[in-house]
């Protein structure tokens, strides 16, 4: 099935101008402006997706603003409808000492979806709250490799999610290599629209992700590298049903206490071809492209 690009463009533009998103701008913009007016930094992340074992220094804290735009998924609501997904997270992260840090998130998820034969857009907007904990078990400089455990709980109006990560990384003088094994458990109310009929069901799944990232620092404040993400969909009834590999370029820069992490991840290959999804790409179940920008300020 050919994808009509017109709704895609309209969708992206509408994400920037929509009335639904405007309240978020009113919340986030003043916060970012306040942060800009403020003046050794510490941070625990160099990548947009892949985590490292480092934790914030005791008493340090930072604000991070995550933006992830996912697009190109045909089957967002049905096989005849596709959409874009803008995921925004505002994070307040605190180093507690004893190799532990915690963070609190406000999450906003905006879906734009349209029938491929029309330019009419529908929107769905969800808010949720998250709390994460990270515990560093091995330091990536002092030991052969760094090791940390991560747990995050997300609670929203129509979803509940837990995310457990095993984080392994290695830091050399000018290079970082990091690997995450991620197990999620999600309970989500999914709205379906077909033939002008809307219905919803509670849906449970437990995807497994593997993230691998490498970065080389050209200068202490500028790094360039790559991220790979293997995303595996696991259904309670059918087991392992889909698997795709995303990979793309990662960039990190910091100036003073500000830092930015950028990653663009196009879907490279469908790793689990089935009768239902026989092609080299699986855009029925996964996005064609994910682009993420993480902007942070460390105190």
**172 contributes a contact to other proteins by CB under 8 A:** yes
Q: Which is nearer to other proteins, 45 or 85 (CB)?
A: 45
Could you tell me how far CA 215 lies from the centroid of its own chain? 18
Sign of the torsion formed by the C-alpha atoms of 227, 86, 44 and 167: negative
Please list, in sequence order, all residues whose beta carbon lies within 8 angstroms of the beta carbon of residue 159, skipping any fewer than 6 positions away.
126, 128, 186, 187, 188, 189
Work out which of 6, 16, 27, 97 binds other proteins, going by CB under 8 A: 97
**80 contributes a contact to other proteins by CB under 8 A:** no
- Interface pattern 248-287 for other proteins (x via CB under 8 A): -----------------------xx---------------
Strand partners, 147: 138, 168
Q: Which is nearer to other proteins, 157 or 220 (CB)?
A: 220
Q: Which is nearer to other proteins, 99 or 206 (CB)?
A: 99
Give strand ranges (E) for 98-174: 100-115, 122-138, 146-156, 159-171
Work out which of 18, 67, 99, 116 binds other proteins, going by CB under 8 A: 99
Q: How far apart are CA 228 and CA 212, in angstroms?
A: 5
Select from 21-29, 112-120, 206-214, 277-285 the region that touches other proteins (CB under 8 A). Answer: 206-214
**205 contributes a contact to other proteins by CB under 8 A:** no
Site for other proteins in 19-38 (CB under 8 A): none
Residue 125 burial (C-beta neighbours within 10 Å; 0-12, 13-18, 19+): middle
Q: Which is nearer to other proteins, 34 or 141 (CB)?
A: 141
* Size, binding site for other proteins by CB under 8 A: 37
Residue 247 burial (C-beta neighbours within 10 Å; 0-12, 13-18, 19+): middle
Both tokens of residue 56?
Answer: 């914030």
Give strand ranges (E) for 30-99: 61-78, 81-97
**173 contributes a contact to other proteins by CB under 8 A:** yes
Select from 11-19, 26-34, 91-99, 189-197 the region that touches other proteins (CB under 8 A). Answer: 91-99
Question: Residue 1 Cβ, how far from other proteins at the closest point, in Å?
Answer: 26
Please list, in sequence order, all residues whose beta carbon lies within 8 angstroms of the beta carbon of residue 241, skipping any fewer than 6 positions away.
233, 234, 235, 272, 274, 285
Select from 153-161, 168-176, 196-204, 259-267 the region that touches other proteins (CB under 8 A). Answer: 168-176
Question: Residue 69 Cβ, how far from other proteins at the closest point, in Å?
Answer: 25
Q: How far apart are CA 97 and CA 63, in angstroms?
A: 18
Q: How far apart are CA 16 and CA 110, in angstroms?
A: 11
> How many other β-carbons are positioned within 10 Å of the β-carbon of residue 18?
17
Site for other proteins in 145-164 (CB under 8 A): 145
Q: Contact residues for other proteins (CB under 8 A)?
A: 42, 44, 54-55, 57-58, 60, 95, 97-99, 139-145, 168-173, 177, 179, 181, 210-212, 228, 230, 232, 240, 243, 271-272
């Amino acid at each position: 099935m050919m994808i009509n690009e017109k709704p895609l463009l309209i969708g992206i533009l509408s994400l920037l101008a929509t009335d639904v998103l405007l309240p978020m701008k009113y919340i986030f913009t003043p916060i970012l402006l306040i942060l800009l007016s403020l003046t050794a930094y510490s941070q625990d992340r160099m990548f947009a997706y892949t985590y490292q074992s480092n934790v914030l220094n005791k008493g340090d804290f930072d604000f991070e603003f995550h933006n992830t735009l996912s697009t190109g998924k045909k089957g967002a609501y049905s096989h005849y409808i596709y959409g874009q997904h803008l995921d925004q997270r505002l994070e307040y992260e605190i180093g507690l000492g004893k190799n532990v840090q915690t963070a609190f998130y406000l999450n906003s998820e905006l879906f734009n979806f349209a029938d491929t034969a029309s330019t009419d857009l529908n929107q769905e907007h969800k808010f949720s709250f998250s709390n994460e904990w990270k515990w560093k078990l091995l330091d990536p400089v002092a030991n052969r490799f760094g090791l940390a455990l991560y747990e995050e709980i997300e609670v929203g109006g129509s979803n509940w999610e837990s995310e457990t990560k095993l984080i392994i990384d290695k830091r050399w003088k000018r290079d970082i290599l990091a690997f995450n094994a991620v197990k999620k458990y999600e309970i989500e109310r999914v709205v379906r629209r077909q033939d002008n009929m809307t219905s919803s069901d509670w849906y449970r799944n437990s995807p497994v992700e593997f993230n691998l990232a490498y970065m080389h620092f050209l200068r202490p404040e500028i790094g360039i590298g790559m991220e790979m993400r293997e995303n595996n969909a696991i259904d309670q009834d059918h087991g392992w049903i889909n698997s795709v590999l995303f990979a793309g370029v990662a960039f990190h820069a910091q100036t003073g206490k500000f830092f930015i992490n950028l990653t663009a991840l196009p879907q490279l290959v469908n790793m689990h071809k089935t009768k239902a999804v026989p092609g080299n790409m699986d855009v029925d179940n996964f996005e064609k492209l994910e682009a993420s920008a993480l902007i942070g300020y460390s105190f």
